[in-house]
Structure 1
Amino acid sequence: MMRPDLEVVEVRRDESFKVWEHGYPYRTIRWHFHPEFELHLIVATRGKYFVGDHIGSFGPGHLVLVGPNLPHNWVSDVAEGETIERRNLVMQFSQDFMRRCIEAFPECKEAQGLLDDARRGIAFDEATSVAVAPLFEALLTARGIRRTSLFLLLLERLCSAAQRTLLASPASSQSSSASTRLSHALSYIGKNLTSALRESDLAQLAGQSVSAFSRAFHRHTGMPFVQYVNRLRIEAACQMLLADDARITEVCFQCGFNNVSNFNRQFRAAKGMSPSEFRSLQRLNARSGDVAVDAASNSADVCSTAPPHRARHPANAALAPPGN
């Protein structure tokens, strides 16, 4: 079987987990893995799915929970060149997040068995999919405490499922756990981006020699250690540039770079522009939304002040505002 790619899951700084949707084809639709749990709900198309050494068929309503580092992929059966605007919903959350949930709320220990089974992948029955679907949809736009409460309610639905089918064989699950030491290193990097990160220290954490760790790291991430760290730091910088008005120098040091010139060079290499240009263009993008709202408001004002007799004229009847 071909070697899976590593997907870098980026969770916003002001959120505990990631919920999103995408169509087909899409960049993440490939044989891949990541250290996070993933809940996957198909809303359109049929096809074949692959979880570890399991191969099965899927259709709308197909609901699967995949555990950390377990390779997976969903391939839709669509005509060549055809695109699907919205194929599935995805929720991703880290092992550390669930550990902290269980520590903070002992009642969440009920989910431990579910999480253990997810290391082989779990397919859920139709009734559970129907119950989970509206919660999943609501999570796409939920904010604040409601977002957290929806997550816990969804988790409760999964725990109480009448039928859970394990997908990958125990052997497949064990082979995927060979990446566990590397996933610990990846998790450590994500939590310590602002610190000095040395490949030798991460190799020690993974219990490997530097050369063995370097080869394994490149094989699983598709890039050298330093490039991977810089990529994560640049993505963190982008979030900071969008979130507040901190000076470029402050952003540089807060995301882990130790000098501004290197930060600017790495940012330009990754994004094709300087940090200040990135921030300016994003502000321009935000202002365009305000302009669109103002234009719609002005258009509504013009319609509301139009003389009534014009709206009733036969030639203009189709243009009459609602209620006239």
Structure 2
Amino acid sequence: MSAIKPEYEAVYEAQNSFRYLAHGADSSLVRWHYHNEYELHLILTTHGNAFIGDYVGPFTPGSVFLCGPYLPHNWVSLGDFQTGIRDRVINFSDERIQSLIQILPEMKSLQTMLADSRYGIEFSKEASARVMDDFATIAGLKGPARVLSFLNIMSELAQSQDYWPLSSRSFEEESDSLMEGRVNTVVNYIIHNCTRELSLEEVAGVLGLAPTFFSRWFKKATGYRYIDFLTRLRISRACEHLEVTDRPITEICFDAGFANVANFNRHFLKIKGMTPRQYRESIEIRGRTMQKVVLQR
């Protein structure tokens, strides 16, 4: 998402080959951040918006993502979800996984997936479903059994080759600690206020900057003009409601923050390549297809 990196997270796990954790949507870990390690991320509950590199798009329960080193990311749930486990996360270092690949030639099958993850990848629901049980049990395992469970997840996902890239570029460059805090502040402010009227002047005021200066700074920091970033975020929110509710499109348009339906339809078509109605129909067709596949098994 940004040429200026967001908040840095140090991952310390000296006693294990990888870090595993589970947390809720209210965790302090839920923020726009990056780290040196890969992150294999399962969304267990809630719907919302994924921010990965310069990608913004919806996530749903059962979604599995793999983010490469230095790639900024965050998952923001819609609604007031404050209890229970939302995320199961595995962090592992490139140094260790590459050492393993050198020792075990069979592990070279992971290389393509790991390279693609530098841009962030999301796995299909089918591929994700095949590893959910391992995600759930790995926390209770120790020693070799824990490592083997992790390798089983990685192998299953790599063999499926059923994923798609998200960000248009990788983010493997040096961090700017001063700017990352400012980016984090303003992005979080936009996320939490995007469904109401949100002027450039108001957002610039969050950092105490003049609107014209802020506009140039924001474009350099995120790769988007402010209005384009805000529009993409609102379209992402609209997609979430189109997918999981049967509310009228007009209501969804206004709730997402658009002032009129014509403007909403125009931006939706430009970003998604189809109208809101066509998007909803495509979701329904996909659902019927999946149901048919399940019944045929």
TM-score calculated relative to the size of structure 2: 0.57
Shift of 1:154: 0.8
In structure 1, distance between residues paired with 2:162 and 2:5: 31
Equivalent residue number for residue 37 of structure 1: 38
Shift of 1:165: 0.5
Equivalent residue number for residue 197 of structure 2: none
Shift of 1:51: 0.4
1:127 to 1:113, Cα distance in 2 relative to 1, 3 A: same
Equivalent residue number for residue 138 of structure 1: 137
TM alignment of 1:122-133, pairs within 5 A:
122-133=121-132
Shift of 1:40: 0.5
Shift of 1:112: 0.7
Shift of 1:84: 2.5
Task: Write out per-residue CA displacement over residues 220-243 of structure 1, whole angstroms, 9 at most, x where no aligned residue.
Answer: 699xxxxxxxxxxxxxxxxxxxxx
Equivalent residue number for residue 10 of structure 2: 8
1:70 equivalenced with 2:65 (yes/no): no
1:50 equivalenced with 2:51 (yes/no): yes
TM alignment of 1:1-324, pairs within 5 A:
3-11=5-13, 13-79=14-80, 82-169=81-168, 172-173=169-170, 176-179=171-174, 216=176
In structure 2, distance between residues paired with 1:220 and 1:57: 24
**Structure 1, unaligned stretches of length 5 or more?**
183-215, 223-324
In structure 2, distance between residues paired with 1:217 and 1:123: 28
In structure 1, distance between residues paired with 2:158 and 2:120: 14
Moved over 2 A (4+): 216-222
Task: Write out per-residue CA displacement over residues 53-99 of structure 1, whole angstroms, 9 at most, x where no aligned residue.
Answer: 111101110110000000000000123xx412210100000011111
1:104 to 1:221, Cα distance in 2 relative to 1, 3 A: farther
Shift of 1:162: 4.4
**Structure 2, unaligned stretches of length 5 or more?**
183-297
Letter paired with 1:103:
Q
In structure 2, distance between residues paired with 1:3 and 1:113: 25
In structure 1, distance between residues paired with 2:117 and 2:125: 18
In structure 2, distance between residues paired with 1:217 and 1:3: 8
In structure 2, distance between residues paired with 1:135 and 1:221: 35
In structure 2, distance between residues paired with 1:147 and 1:3: 32
TM-score calculated relative to the size of structure 1: 0.53
Radius of gyration: which is bigger?
Answer: 1
Shift of 1:105: 0.9
In structure 1, distance between residues paired with 2:116 and 2:100: 18
Task: Write out per-residue CA displacement over residues 180-204 of structure 1, whole angstroms, 9 at most, x where no aligned residue.
Answer: xx6xxxxxxxxxxxxxxxxxxxxxx
Identity %: 34
In structure 2, distance between residues paired with 1:100 and 1:60: 33
Equivalent residue number for residue 263 of structure 1: none
In structure 1, distance between residues paired with 2:28 and 2:100: 31
Q: Secondary structure at the match of 1:14?
A: coil
In structure 2, distance between residues paired with 1:217 and 1:48: 25
Q: Secondary structure at the match of 2:98?
A: helix
Q: Secondary structure at the match of 1:91?
A: strand
Equivalent residue number for residue 302 of structure 1: none
In structure 1, distance between residues paired with 2:66 and 2:82: 25
In structure 2, distance between residues paired with 1:15 and 1:111: 20
Shift of 1:152: 1.2
Q: Secondary structure at the match of 2:130?
A: helix
In structure 2, distance between residues paired with 1:30 and 1:157: 29
Q: Secondary structure at the match of 1:38?
A: strand
Letter paired with 1:70:
L
Task: Write out per-residue CA displacement over residues 79-125 of structure 1, whole angstroms, 9 at most, x where no aligned residue.
Answer: 3xx41221010000001111111122111111111110000001001
In structure 2, distance between residues paired with 1:149 and 1:221: 38
Shift of 1:219: 5.6
Q: Is the CA contact (8 Å cut-off) linking 2:67 and 2:119 kept in structure 1?
A: yes
In structure 2, distance between residues paired with 1:140 and 1:78: 28
Q: Is the CA contact (8 Å cut-off) linking 1:124 and 1:161 kept in structure 2?
A: no
Instruction: Using CA pairs under 8 Å that are at least 6 residues apart, name the structure with larger relative contact order, 1 or 2.
Output: 2
Letter paired with 2:158:
C
Q: How many positions carry a matched residue from both structures?
A: 180
Q: Is the CA contact (8 Å cut-off) linking 1:125 and 1:162 kept in structure 2?
A: no
Q: Is the CA contact (8 Å cut-off) linking 1:49 and 1:56 kept in structure 2?
A: yes
Letter paired with 2:8:
L
In structure 2, distance between residues paired with 1:14 and 1:49: 31
In structure 1, distance between residues paired with 2:36 and 2:180: 11
